[in-house]
Amino acid sequence: MSSRKDLISLLSILAVFLIFFFVPLESPTLDNPVGEALRLTQWYAREHVILCLVPAFFIAGAIAVFLGQASVMKYLGAKANKVMSYGVASVSGAILAVCSCTILPLFAGIYGMGAGLGPASAFLYAGPAVNVLAIILTARILGLELGIARAVGAIVFSIVIGLLMQLIFRKEEKQKVQAQAVMPQEQVTRPLWKNIAYFASMIAILVFATWSSPEQSSGLWHAVYSVKWLITAAVAVVFGVLLVCWLGLCLWKVALTGLATTVFALVFSHQPLVPFGVAVVGLSLSAGTGKGEARSWVTETWGFARQIMPLLFIGVLIAGLLLGRPGSEGLVPSHWVSGAVGGNSVGANLFASVAGAFMYFATLTEVPILQGLIGNGMGKGPALALLLAGPALSLPNMLVIRSVMGTKKTIVFVTLVVIMATISGLVYGALF
């Protein structure tokens, strides 16, 4: 067995070496896709890691430490009330408004703490798909009927996919229920309202820090955007107070972190990533050098980051190499994509679903991309198919899902999304 592993490792190293040795980087056919892969990864690192993923990792770590297994199982467990568990999971995106990668640490957190496969799958799909702003933007730019179809389809999808995952893997879920039935009752360490305050403040920081710039220079969305960092700072102050009063973090460490963040915010007023990064480092040091739950929180957060981050970056690199960034070319020419999604055939809808499932869409970017494709002749059915498959899945997303719940469940989950998106596109294209 050992010799077989050694042989596989040797062949893998040899293959990587030969690829880098012989790859024709000077070829125009490959030069641009490689550049696109690197540029997409750089954009991802700048725009998503610090503001999106890092807060999500801290929230996932908090789920593992603050909530406790009993709380997760009560609301999302395999034997929880189905109406409540699927209802909570299916509307989660209305609060989170995250992309297909940012949802992953949260999914890993609740699934690892004992959430049933059905509710966890519904949460995994709904997190990025049931995005209120994205749905409103779709309705305003691409048409009211497409916006309504996206909203209804996303909510229905999340519930149906969750139920089907639960049904397909019912034997494993039955074993999970039996195992949970014999688990000892956990002692409640703090009231529920305190946990709600913790998570509400962390989610608020995630939401407002990633509040995107609207196209119009007026209205409520623009008003919030203009003061989003003031709101984020105010919520962070409240969160710091909660950490000192309830979690026992050292007051002077939290105060020093707040002071350093304020100074850097004043010096780098046009580069919010710098003070935000300072706050993250300060929080990590303050909690990591503490005791009990505080240190466990940082440990769990680091565990999720270590598991997920490498796979995400590998996936983003591959996605950039194959498909490039929006408006740019990868190995797969963009005219192939636009030419394959015209009309309302089964092939056009299936291609749109598969292409959307493997592409990486940051939050809200799918709308202008789709606007361009529709302008180039994309049918209404394939447009909906891409909207239902694209934001919820991506190649980086699939790699991480596989590490959390295994190859078989990942294949079934992705297949269900693609099939349902294809069928929805066919029906919508026939009606409209």
Provide the residue count of the chain. 432
The Cα 240–Cα 225 span in angstroms is 23
Compute the distance between CA of residue 145 and CA of residue 140 in angstroms, rounded to an integer: 10
Distance between CA atoms of residues 237 and 57, nearest Å: 20
Task: Tell me the Ramachandran region of residue 23: left when phi exceeds 0, alpha when psi lies from -120 to 50, beta otherwise.
Answer: beta
3-state secondary structure of 169: coil
Grouped pLDDT means (10 residues each) for the chain, 432 residues? 65 72 64 78 82 88 78 74 82 69 87 86 88 79 88 90 93 75 58 86 89 74 87 95 91 95 92 92 91 89 87 83 73 74 88 89 75 80 92 89 93 96 93 84
Helix, strand, coil in percent for the chain, rounding step 5: 80, 0, 20
CB–CB of 194/243 below 8 Å? Answer: no
Q: What is the pTM of this model?
A: 0.79
Residue 77: strand, helix, or coil: strand
